[in-house]
Amino acid sequence: MIQNQITPEKPLKGKVALVAGATRGAGRGIATELGAAGATVYVTGRTTRAQRSEYDLPQTIEETAELVTQAGGQGIPIQVDHLVPEEVKRLVDRIELEQGRLDILVNDIWGGEFLAEWNKPIWEHSLDKGLRMLRLAIDTHLITSHFALPLLIRNQGGLLLEITDGTAEYNRNNYRLSVFYDLAKSAVIRIAWAQAQELKSFGGTAVALTPGWMRSEIMLAHFGVTEATWQDALEKEPHFVISETPRYIGRAVVALAADPNVHQWNGKSTSSGELAKEYGFTDIDGSQPDAWRYIVEVQEAGKPADATGYR
């Protein structure tokens, strides 16, 4: 059993986290930052060094686990398809056996980047792709919570993060260019709110959390750049100037998990940019991108790209 010893340098030392959907993107950034804060982090996904998922991308859960350990925590990779209840149950049973506790659950399972057909009405959008997107975005989160939350609530102060795209306010007022995508991302916010009602009597907290315009591996590849050369993408999309690394949302998760008063966020929808202002952390370049405010006040207002005052 891990001893729960908290230090300022490692505020999550002794804590056990599960980052469901940690192969790449936000999940990898979150897992890495949890490791830097001293946590033991179980990282799950479908792609391993021996087998790739339908994405057919090179990133693996083993790589993510190694990043967690290199950052200062303990990374434990487990291949899991979160649509398969039996696999999720085995995962949680293993965490219980090995650790006896679960302090942080991050539901970051997604898998729908290549399924959305943008600016197509529902009658033209592929029904198979749309329904598959909903299963990957919603069913996976519900299945994982079903099995993991009994272990999370065993100790007071358990934290559940539901990772989505967009805040409740933004998604309420804006169509996300696909009925299926719109529903997928808005539903996760409602799932967080509903679970908050169930967790509060057990001393638990559930929060919906979104990154801004994140420089994931898939997004960088879309623009044909790397993290080192990301600013070259501004020639194609000037508003990419507000983008952030996956480590930024990871630092948002750590800030919440280390806050003894985290229950003030129960049931709320927030973003990496909002939490950076609240807790004072930065992205790895020292900036504090506030993407959702920028998107509304600059990009969608038709103004020239300029992140001054927004990062």
Give per-residue pLDDT as tens, 162-209: 999 999 999 999 999 999 999 999 999 999 999 999 999 999 999 999
Across the range 222-251, mean pLDDT stands at 98
For residue 274, is pLDDT > 50?
yes
Q: What is the pLDDT of residue 6?
A: 40
For residue 58, is pLDDT > 60?
yes
Distance, in Å, from the CA atom of 271 to the CA atom of 14, rounded to the nearest integer, reads 26
Q: What is the pLDDT of residue 5?
A: 37
List b or e across 7-35, with b for residues whose CB sees 16 or more CB atoms inside 10 angstroms: eeebbbbbbbbbbbbbbbbbbbbbbbbbb
Domain ranges of the chain: 16-217+246-288
Q: What is the pLDDT of residue 44?
A: 98
Give per-residue pLDDT as tens, 33-44: 999 999 999 999
For residue 4, is pLDDT > 50?
no
Q: What is the pLDDT of residue 273?
A: 98
Catalytic residue, candidates 170, 181, 294, 310? 181
Distance, in Å, from the CA atom of 277 to the CA atom of 294, rounded to the nearest integer, reads 14
* Best CA proximity match to 109, nearest among 16, 179, 43, 34: 43
User: Which CATH fold topology does 16-217+246-288 show?
Assistant: Rossmann fold (3.40.50)
* Best CA proximity match to 179, nearest among 125, 143, 228: 125
Q: What is the pLDDT of residue 153?
A: 97
Instruction: Tell me whether residue 181 is one of the annotated catalytic residues.
Output: yes
Q: What is the pLDDT of residue 54?
A: 86
Distance, in Å, from the CA atom of 30 to the CA atom of 192, rounded to the nearest integer, reads 18
Paired strand residues for 41 = 17, 75
Give per-residue pLDDT as tens, 90-113: 999 999 999 999 999 999 999 999
